[in-house]
Amino acid sequence: MQLVAYISDLLYRHDCVVVPEFGAFLTRRVSAQYFESSNSFYPPKKGFPSIVKSFKMMDYLLIMFLALRKFLMLMRNNWFVTRLED
């Protein structure tokens, strides 16, 4: 399902993605870590997203992202079709 890929892409860039009629996915930042015992360094990262089903605020991030993707797909397809006609 492409929606999962879109949500994943948005969570990579943002800390919160609201899915209408479902809830919100929230990520948390994990600081860099150094373990002296194993001489290992782990860079900062985003933690596993949590789901808040009671989240009611609408931020339109996902909706705008999907609209832009669909628009760009339509424009790209239109470009290819016009090139085929030439």
Closest CA to 60 of 17, 10, 28: 17
- E strand or H helix at 52: strand 50-52
pLDDT tens string 39-63:
999 999 888 778 888 777 777 888 8
Q: What is the residue extent of each domain of the chain?
A: 2-85
pTM for this entry: 0.62
- 44 — alpha (psi -120 to 50), left (phi > 0) or beta? beta
User: What is the DSSP-derived secondary structure letter of residue 22?
Assistant: T
Closest CA to 44 of 26, 55, 29: 29
pLDDT tens string 9-41:
888 888 888 888 888 898 888 899 999 999 999
Strands 29-30 and 45-46, sheet pairing: antiparallel
